[in-house]
Amino acid sequence: MFEELQSKIKIESKKINLIVFLLILLLSLWLFYDFHSKQAMKEGKMVGRVVYKVNEVNRKLGSQVLWEDVELNSEVYNYDTIRTDQFSKITVLLNDKTEIQLESNSMVVFDLEKDNLSVNFLEGKMQLNSLNVGEDAKNLKIKSGDSEIKLDKGDIKLTKASDSILDIDVRDGKAEVKKGDNVREIKKDEELKIRGEKFKQTKRKIRLLSPINSKYFLTQASFQEVRFEWEGDNGEEEVYFLEIYNTSGRPKRVLSKSIKEKTYVDKFEPGKYKWQVTNSKKEDVQSDNFYIVDDNPVSPFTPENGASFYYLTEPPRILLSWSRNEFIPYYKLEVSTTPDFSKLVTDRLTENESTVVDDLKKGTYYYRILTKTGFPDSAWRISKTKTFIINERSAPSPPELLSPPKDHNFSEEEPLNFAWKSSESYVTYRLQIAKDKEFQSIVEDQKTELRSIRLKKSLEEGRYFWRVQGFLKDGKSKIDSEILSFDFSQYPETQITLIEPKNHFETKETKVQFAWEALPKKDRYTLELSGDPEFKELIKSATSQTNSIVLTPLGPGHYYWRVKVQGNKNRSTTSSAGVFSILYDPTPTILFPKDKSKIDLADKEQLYFKWDNVSGAISYELELTELAGNKRILKKSGIKTNEFTLDDISLLKTGDYLLKVRANIAKSNLEETISKPGISKFGIFLSKTIKQEDIKFITPENVYIE
Q: Is the pLDDT of residue 66 over 50?
A: yes
Most confident of 78-87, 329-338, 470-479, 625-634: 329-338
CA torsion 227-228-231-237 (nearest 10°) is -100
Q: Same domain, yes or no, for 75 and 163?
A: yes
Domain for residue 21, yes or no? no
Q: Same domain, yes or no, for 423 and 377?
A: no
136 pLDDT tier (thresholds 50, 70, 90): low
Out of 558, 582, 606, pick the residue that ends a domain: 582
pLDDT of 477: 80
pLDDT of 137: 67
pLDDT top residue among 573 and 76: 76
8 Å CB contact between 369 and 347: no
> Assign residue 441 a region: left if phi > 0, alpha if psi is -120 to 50, beta otherwise?
beta
Q: Same domain, yes or no, for 199 and 212?
A: no
Domain for residue 107, yes or no? yes
C-alpha dihedral sign at 515, 519, 525, 526: negative
CATH number of domain containing 111: 2.60.120.1440
489 pLDDT tier (thresholds 50, 70, 90): confident
CA angle 62, 64, 68 (to 5 degrees): 95
Q: Same domain, yes or no, for 290 and 308?
A: no
Q: Same domain, yes or no, for 607 and 673?
A: yes
Domain for residue 575, yes or no? yes
Chain segment 457-466, per-residue pLDDT in tens: 888 888 999 9
pLDDT of 620: 92
Out of 294, 320, 354, pick the residue that ends a domain: 294
Q: Same domain, yes or no, for 68 and 200?
A: yes
Q: Say which residues have a Cβ less than 8 Å from residue 179's Cβ, sequence separation at least 6.
A: 146, 147, 148, 194, 197, 199
Q: Is the pLDDT of residue 157 over 80?
A: yes
Lowest mean pLDDT among 349-363, 434-448, 486-500, 593-607: 486-500
569 pLDDT tier (thresholds 50, 70, 90): very low
Lowest mean pLDDT among 22-26, 576-580, 605-609, 643-647: 22-26
Domain for residue 18, yes or no? no
Q: Same domain, yes or no, for 90 and 154?
A: yes
Out of 335, 368, 392, pick the residue that ends a domain: 392
Q: Same domain, yes or no, for 66 and 200?
A: yes
Quick one: average pLDDT of 78-96? 87
Q: Is the pLDDT of residue 598 over 80?
A: yes
444 pLDDT tier (thresholds 50, 70, 90): very high
Domain for residue 692, yes or no? no
95 pLDDT tier (thresholds 50, 70, 90): confident
Q: Is the pLDDT of residue 661 over 90?
A: yes
Domain for residue 518, yes or no? yes
Q: Same domain, yes or no, for 289 and 312?
A: no
Quick one: average pLDDT of 124-142? 82
Quick one: average pLDDT of 15-40? 60
Give the structural domain span for 415.
Answer: 400-488
pLDDT of 522: 67
pLDDT of 464: 95
pLDDT of 433: 95
Residue type, 690: I
Number of domains in the chain: 6
Chain segment 229-273, per-residue pLDDT in tens: 998 876 666 789 999 999 887 889 999 999 888 899 999 999 999
8 Å CB contact between 151 and 137: no
Chain segment 516-553, per-residue pLDDT in tens: 998 866 668 999 999 999 999 999 999 998 999 999 87
Q: Same domain, yes or no, for 433 and 506?
A: no
Chain segment 375-423, per-residue pLDDT in tens: 777 889 999 999 999 998 777 889 999 999 998 988 777 889 999 998 7
Lowest mean pLDDT among 225-239, 299-313, 356-370: 225-239
CATH number of domain containing 439: 2.60.40.10
pLDDT of 65: 74
Quick one: average pLDDT of 638-646? 91
The helix (H) or strand (E) run that includes residue 417 is: strand 417-421
Q: Is the pLDDT of residue 651 over 90?
A: no
Residue 298: phi, psi to the nearest 5?
Answer: -75, 165
Domain for residue 8, yes or no? no
Domain for residue 31, yes or no? no
Q: Same domain, yes or no, for 281 and 304?
A: no
Q: Same domain, yes or no, for 187 and 98?
A: yes
pLDDT of 2: 42
